[in-house]
Amino acid sequence: MRDYISKIGGFFITFEGIDGCGKSTQAKLLQENLKNLGYDAHWTKEPGGTDIGNMVREILLKYNQEIDVLTEFLLFASDRSAHAKELIKELSKGKIVISERFKDSSVAYQGYGGGLSINFIERIHREITIIEPDLTILLDISPLVSIKRVKAPDRIEKKGTDYLERVRNGYLILSKLYKNRYVIFDGSKEKNELSQEILKVVENKLKAYFF
């Protein structure tokens, strides 16, 4: 399987959703499950998938003062620019690349959530990355579930339920705009049950893509 994939190119999977939806848990479970099936699966995340990203992450999530939405987006974009290069490098090796968040996060959070022009966000993205996800897994939960799950909220998570509701609605709009790559899952389900549901969908997508 690995040799066959490496001759064709990789497959790019993103996990999206509001905070507390289970992205980290499910992304890592998917990587483990795919490796057990013989796939070469690489896990990464935003922000923090690169050395630059780790420094940006510290500012974005732990800075204890207000950051305006434009500055917030540009910080995410600077991380994404560096991260995209790493993603392309791994994909060119024929790997299944799994990323917690990618550019849809900025559209949902800084765009629909924060009110920044979505056209502006998309224009910047066209400059910093040439890749699109092959599959986006949206883990959908309500803001109330999010608040209950997040025990130590960071700066963005402290923006409240109204903000999270706008972000969630943004994701649902994106899922309709890009229905060819989006699959929505109930993020409130038990983690092992959910991981098996995700794996089944991913396996079918990979078979259709590679064979």
In this prediction, residue 154 carries a pLDDT of: 63
What local confidence, expressed as pLDDT, does residue 7 receive?
39
Residues 15 and 23: beta-carbon distance below 8 Å = yes
Residue 156: what pLDDT?
65
**Tally of structural domains, the chain:** 1
Q: To which H or E segment does residue 58 belong?
A: helix 51-62
Q: CA–CA separation, 87 vs 39, rounded Å?
A: 17
| pLDDT value at residue 209 | 85
Q: Which of 99, 106, 104 is nearest to 176 (CA)?
A: 104
CATH number at residue 88: 3.40.50.300
Tens digit of pLDDT at every position of the chain (211 positions): 434 343 347 999 999 999 999 999 999 999 999 999 999 999 999 987 677 778 887 887 777 778 899 999 999 999 999 999 999 999 999 999 999 999 999 999 999 999 999 999 999 999 999 899 999 999 999 998 988 888 766 666 667 789 999 999 999 999 999 999 999 999 999 999 999 999 999 999 999 887 7
CB atoms inside a 10 Å sphere around CB 54: 12
**Per-residue model confidence (pLDDT) at position 153:** 66
Widest Cα–Cα separation across the chain: 51
Per-residue confidence (pLDDT) for residue 152, from 0 to 100: 66
Parent domain of 167: 2-210
**Residue 50 DSSP class:** S
Predicted TM-score of the model (pTM) = 0.91
